[in-house]
Structure formats: C-alpha cells, structure tokens
Amino acid sequence: MFEHLKAKPADPILRLMQEFREDSHPQKVDLGVGVYKDEQGHTPLMQAVDRAQRILVESELTKSYIGPPGSPLFNDQITQLVLGNGLATKLKERLAVAQTPGGCGALRMAAEFIKSCQPTARVWVSDPTWANHVPLLGGAGLPLETYPYYDQQTGGVRFDAMMETLKKSARAGDLVLLHGCCHNPSGADLNSKQWQEITEFCLDKGVVPFVDMAYQGLGQGLNEDALGVRYLFNAVPEALLATSCSKNFGLYRERTGALMLLSAKAEQTPATASELFTRIRSHYSMPPAHGASVVETILMNSQLAELWQSELNAMRKRIQTLRLQLNQGLKARGVDRDFSFIERQQGMFSFLGISPEQVNQLRKDFSIYMVESSRINLAGLSAHNLDYVCDGIASILKG
C-alpha cells in the first residue's frame, strides 16, 4: 500500500527552520519564521494568557466535548472583537459562527463550505498571498485565480491593476480573498477608500468577499485594523471571515480561530449554520477547547482584557519601531536604495526586494535567514542584532 509513495519536497519555511537550528554561527538571525518574537528572540507567553490559564486550572470542571460549533461564549466574544459590539449585535441573526482549529481550520472549513454550496465558484487571491492559502483552499477542490496586488517598486498596493483585473474577469458568485490587515507576506494594506471601492465592486458584481483576519491589533490597533472589514460587512449581503488568535493572543500551538458566515437574510442563517457544522463534523468533528477558553476568560474579565490590550499594544509599537530603525539603519550605511516603504507598511512582514542570490548570500556569509522571496519577519529583529543585520544587507547591496 505504501511502497509507491515518494517523499514530498520539504516546506521552504520548515526547511529554513531546520537549517537555522543546525547553524552554529554565534550571531545567526532568524527573519524567516512567521511568529512574533520579543527582544530576547522568544515567542512569549503573554501575561494575560498565563493568568487566564491559572484561573482555568482552578475553575475547570470537565474535559467533555464542546460540539462542532465550539464554545458559544468564545464565538460571541470573538465576533464582537472583530466586528465591534454595535455591528456584531446588528448582524447577529445573519451570522453563523464556528470556533475552529486556528485560522487554518477556519480557512479550510470555509473552502469546504464554499465547495458544498457553489462547486464552480472561483476564489481570487492576491499576488502574492500567504503561501498556505493555496493548499488550504485549493486542496478542497476550489479553483484559484490571482489578482495583482503588491507593487515591488513602491512597496504599496497595485490597486488600479487589482480592480481592473477583478472587474474584467471575476464573475458573480466568485469570491475575492482579502487580507483584513497586515498583509502577509507584503505588509502593504488597503486604505479606507480602497475598502469602500472593494465593497462597491462586490455589491455591483455579485462577488462574495472572503476575509482572512489573522493579525488584528498588530497593524494600527484593534479597532483601526478592523475598520475596512466592518465597513464591508455592514454593506454586503453575504461574506465569509476567517480569524485567528495565534498572533494577537500568542496562542500559536493552541490552534484557536473562528469562521464567520454572513447570510443575506436571517431566515437563511439556520441552513447556513447547519451546512457549516456538517462540514466540520465530517472533518475534525469538533475543535479543541483550551485556547478558546483562554480567550473568553480574558475578554470577559475587564482587568485581564486591559492587560492583554496593553501587551498587544507593546508588541505593535515594538514592530513599528523596528521598521523605523531598519530603514534608518540602512540609510545610515549609505545603501543606494530607498527602503522607506518598510516604515509605511503594517504588521510583521515586508519584502526587502533583494534577489534570491542575495538572500542566499546573506545566509551563507552572515547566517541571516529569510525565505527566498526576501520576505522578512520584522519581529525577528532586536536591539541585539539590528546593527548586524543592517551591516549584512548593506554589504551585499554595496558589494
């Protein structure tokens, strides 16, 4: 049965992680793996999460299953976090929400739901997009198309080209996948006017918006990062949204996320929910409970919620400071290239815009690791390695 199998190529980021671990260079720097890191290079356990877990240890009474939809309290709280209390209340009867195993679980269940409703629907993804969007959505059998997005020259969004492609080629019933904030891998986000134009396009063309909201709070702020999404959800008849607690709560290994489905009418919501929960039941049956319990414990406790937001604000400000320092550091070294776009972008990621050969040279000569596309995780920088990284980049660009 197994003898015909051949090993698949290693995932580029997982391979990079392995190479980094095996590197003995004392100043090695990991800018590849997409997790938040503090000044010591650790992915920290947030204090609010730690305190919430201690509360759960003392109060938890059962380890029974929680059902395919997950925790109702978590679903309510995460919906309010993403949409805001007012809009969440307004749309409550039109929303079907499920707790999922991380944002990946939300994306895959969204794909399975779409496939069951509209097998011929195409999903339009940005060029570039998060690499895992392709196997998560395409693996469910959905055809994928791409629209122009990132401008390598300016570090911004090719919005005119994006809209021209979608208006010309997207059909009614197709879906357009949008990054809610902190675009991965580019860091280039849509502005409020562009969100409004996308909303009008979806209304006019009958295209369904599908939002991936993986980094809320790490761009400009919890509410600021959600403004475009809230405008969109307030206007369109149908929409899907996948969200994750991996980054803003630091719950990576707990696999905590949610999927929201917006129906055109409240009468449709029971059928929408039934179809979604049936898809979930046939895949992983029901989600794990711990991460969702941590999140709802934090959001339901005013002191913990305040502490969490303070920690999240500190993470965001640190990333913004690192963006500023990286640009200034390269400028101070006389690099004949404009990196100011790094300061204008949002979230943990940016493209340096160097060639694969230069990426390999950085790894070979300086043990500075990043993926071949030159996407870097800004949170991998720190006061301990920033000058070293700037020296390395300047060396390969001036050499």
Residue 55 lies in a domain: no
Residue 240 lies in a domain: yes
Q: Which of 300, 333, 358 is the last residue of a domain?
A: 300
Specify whether 120 is located in the same domain as 72: yes
Which residue type, as a one-letter code, is found at position 146? T
In the set 130, 174, 195, 225, the catalytic residue is 130
Say if residues 256 and 291 touch (Cβ distance below 8 Å): yes
Question: What pLDDT, on a 0 to 100 scale, did the predictor assign at position 17?
Answer: 87
Domain count, the chain: 2
Specify whether 289 is located in the same domain as 320: no
| Angle at CA of residue 251, ends 247 and 255, nearest 5° | 105
Of 323, 371, 324, the closest CA to residue 347 belongs to: 323
Alpha-carbon distance 343 to 83, whole Å?
27
Q: Which residue has the tokens 């204008």?
A: 344
Q: What are phi and psi of 33, to 5 degrees?
A: -70, 130
- Token pair listed for 304: 């913990």
Specify whether 229 is located in the same domain as 117: yes
Say if residues 250 and 43 touch (Cβ distance below 8 Å): yes
Question: What pLDDT, on a 0 to 100 scale, did the predictor assign at position 338?
Answer: 96
Specify whether 272 is located in the same domain as 211: yes
Sequence-ordered alpha helix ranges (H) in the chain: 12-22, 47-59, 72-83, 85-91, 102-117, 133-138, 159-169, 192-205, 227-235, 269-283, 290-299, 302-332, 341-344, 356-366, 386-398
Of 239, 125, 102, 241, the closest CA to residue 180 belongs to: 241
Which residue type, as a one-letter code, is found at position 343? E
Alpha-carbon distance 191 to 176, whole Å?
17
End-to-end CA distance of the chain: 54
Burial of 196 (0-12, 13-18, 19+ CB in 10 A): middle
Alpha-carbon distance 79 to 74, whole Å?
8
Residue 4 lies in a domain: no
Biggest CA–CA distance in the chain, Å, is 65
130 catalytic per annotation: yes
Report CA-CA distances (Å) from 376 to 25, 49, 369. 19, 27, 9
Residue 3 lies in a domain: no
In the set 30, 189, 212, 225, the catalytic residue is 212
Residue 53 lies in a domain: no
Residue 242 lies in a domain: yes
- Token pair listed for 307: 């502490």
Residue 1 lies in a domain: no
DSSP for residue 379: G
Alpha-carbon distance 186 to 49, whole Å?
29
Specify whether 98 is located in the same domain as 243: yes
Say if residues 341 and 347 touch (Cβ distance below 8 Å): no
Q: Which of 240, 271, 300 is the last residue of a domain?
A: 300
Q: Which residues pair with 239 in a beta bridge?
A: 262
Specify whether 294 is located in the same domain as 314: no
Question: What pLDDT, on a 0 to 100 scale, did the predictor assign at position 303?
Answer: 98
Q: Tens place of pLDDT for every residue, the chain, 399 residues? A: 999 999 988 788 888 889 999 999 999 999 998 999 999 999 999 999 999 999 999 999 999 999 999 999 999 999 999 999 999 999 999 999 999 999 999 999 999 999 999 999 999 999 999 999 999 999 999 999 999 999 999 999 999 999 999 999 999 999 999 999 999 999 999 999 999 999 999 999 999 999 999 999 999 999 999 999 999 999 999 999 999 999 999 999 999 999 999 999 999 999 999 999 999 999 999 999 999 999 999 999 999 999 999 999 999 999 999 999 999 999 999 999 999 999 999 999 999 999 999 999 999 999 999 999 999 999 999 999 999 999 999 999 986
Report CA-CA distances (Å) from 254 to 202, 206, 221. 34, 36, 23
Say if residues 38 and 256 touch (Cβ distance below 8 Å): no
Range(s) of the domain holding residue 193: 65-300
Alpha-carbon distance 277 to 100, whole Å?
11
CATH code for the domain of 351: 3.90.1150.10
Q: Which residues pair with 179 in a beta bridge?
A: 212
Q: Which of 300, 325, 342 is the last residue of a domain?
A: 300
Specify whether 202 is located in the same domain as 116: yes
Specify whether 194 is located in the same domain as 263: yes
Per this entry, what is the length of the chain? Answer: 399
Question: What pLDDT, on a 0 to 100 scale, did the predictor assign at position 131?
Answer: 92
Specify whether 354 is located in the same domain as 288: no
| Angle at CA of residue 386, ends 384 and 388, nearest 5° | 90
Of 263, 255, 261, 250, the closest CA to residue 286 belongs to: 255
247 catalytic per annotation: yes
Say if residues 236 and 224 touch (Cβ distance below 8 Å): no
Residue 269 lies in a domain: yes
Question: What pLDDT, on a 0 to 100 scale, did the predictor assign at position 266?
Answer: 98
The 10 Å CB-count burial string (b at 16+, else e) for 99-112 is: bbbbbbbbbbbbbb
Specify whether 244 is located in the same domain as 109: yes
Specify whether 319 is located in the same domain as 338: yes
Specify whether 80 is located in the same domain as 39: no
